[in-house]
Amino acid sequence: MFGYSNKLRLGVMKRDILACLRDLKVMRETNSFDNILLNIWEKKFNKWLDELDNVQNVVTVTEAVRLQSNVNSVKCKCPNTNCSTMKCACKKLNLSCNIRCHPGKTCHNPSL
């Protein structure tokens, strides 16, 4: 439900942004806009862009669980590099190392 509401909100914002862009294009093509009206639309557009930036950083619950649990159960076993290079199997797959990889050793790619 958490992810769905953000996707729904994102879809509504995209629709509003597209409508705003269509209006701006028509106004510019017909040269029938006032500077005041253009400023209002540009302020709304910038506000929507800021909101989109915030929405993209939201992680769904499912994604957070996947990132935490390392569902693929990859075990890297990096003895000398402490998972700091791309030789680490977890790092190659953009996953965090977990307790099963190398318990008790230092790691530069720990789980959150």
**Same domain assignment for residues 8 and 48:** yes
* Structure confidence at residue 81 (pLDDT): 78
* Structure confidence at residue 64 (pLDDT): 74
pLDDT in tens, 5-43: 555 566 667 777 777 777 777 766 666 556 667 777 777
In a domain, 52, yes or no: yes
* Structure confidence at residue 83 (pLDDT): 83
In a domain, 96, yes or no: yes
Q: Where are the alpha helices (DSSP H) in 1-112?
A: 2-30, 35-56, 61-69, 89-92
* Structure confidence at residue 35 (pLDDT): 67
Residues of the domain holding 44: 2-58
In a domain, 24, yes or no: yes
Q: How far apart are CA 8 and CA 10, in angstroms?
A: 5
pLDDT in tens, 42-98: 777 777 777 766 665 667 777 777 666 654 567 787 877 788 888 888 888 887 787
With 0-12 CB in 10 A as exposed, 13-18 as middle and 19+ as buried, what is 75?
middle
